């Protein structure tokens, strides 16, 4: 059909359906599938949760207090969280509550650091009988790489007074929290 000056050829289009709606229905995806952006976001979150759990597993440990040696700070049966990553909480220092390896594998003691390497031990805290140098009035200085630990309840505590200073390699970590 010839086109006159006032007539124009218009593209044909279905009534009520725009060009964009028609394209969207052609690209419809199956139900139950995530969009790529949502899937990537989910994967990133899952990876972060996984990395946090791995970090937590290798750097923290839960320990149950047994006995009365740390009363009133910690009660018998109380759960405490120990940070094994000293790089995260700082080096062991005087006043820190630490968990140390003691005895068979899996056995630990919870004690407070009373003196660190190079410090003299206070002779007013009664030492065990086998520590003759205390009775002779000689000062005892904590050796390098070791700490002297005491329980908060001295009357019920087995601590450095009976087994001597503890090597830092036997310190599992610092108490970071409790229930």
Annotated active-site residue in 4, 18, 31, 69:
69
Which contacts qualify for 130-134: CB closer than 8 Å, 24 or more apart? 131/161
Of 4, 31, 111, 169, the active-site residue reads 111
| 31 labelled catalytic | no
Half-sphere exposure of 110 (CA within 13 A, CB side): 31
The C-alpha atoms of residue 164 and residue 48 are separated, in whole angstroms, by: 44
E strands, the chain, in order: 60-64, 79-83, 97-101, 108-116, 146-150, 166-167, 171-178
**Contacts of residue 162, Cβ cutoff 8 Å, sequence gap at least 6:** 128
Asked if the peptide bond before residue 11 counts as cis, ω within 30 degrees of 0, the response is no
For this structure, is 111 an active site residue?
yes
Q: Which residues are marked as active site? A: 69, 111
């Amino acid at each position: 059909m010839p086109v006159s000056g006032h007539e124009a050829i218009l593209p044909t289009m279905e009534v009520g359906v725009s060009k964009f709606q028609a394209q969207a229905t052609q690209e419809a995806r199956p139900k139950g599938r995530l969009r790529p952006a949502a899937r990537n976001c989910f994967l990133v979150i899952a990876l972060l949760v996984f990395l946090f759990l791995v970090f937590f597993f290798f750097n923290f440990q839960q320990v149950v207090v047994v006995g009365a040696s740390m009363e009133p700070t910690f009660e018998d049966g109380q759960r405490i969280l120990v940070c094994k990553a000293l790089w995260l909480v700082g080096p062991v220092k005087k006043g820190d509550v630490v968990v140390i390896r003691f005895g068979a594998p899996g056995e630990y003691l919870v004690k407070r650091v009373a003196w660190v390497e190079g410090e003299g031990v206070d002779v007013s805290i009664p030492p065990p009988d086998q520590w003759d140098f205390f009775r002779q009035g000689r000062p005892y200085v904590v050796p390098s790489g070791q700490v002297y630990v005491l329980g908060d309840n001295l009357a019920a505590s087995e601590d450095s007074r009976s087994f001597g200073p503890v090597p830092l390699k036997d310190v599992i970590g610092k108490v970071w929290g409790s229930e």
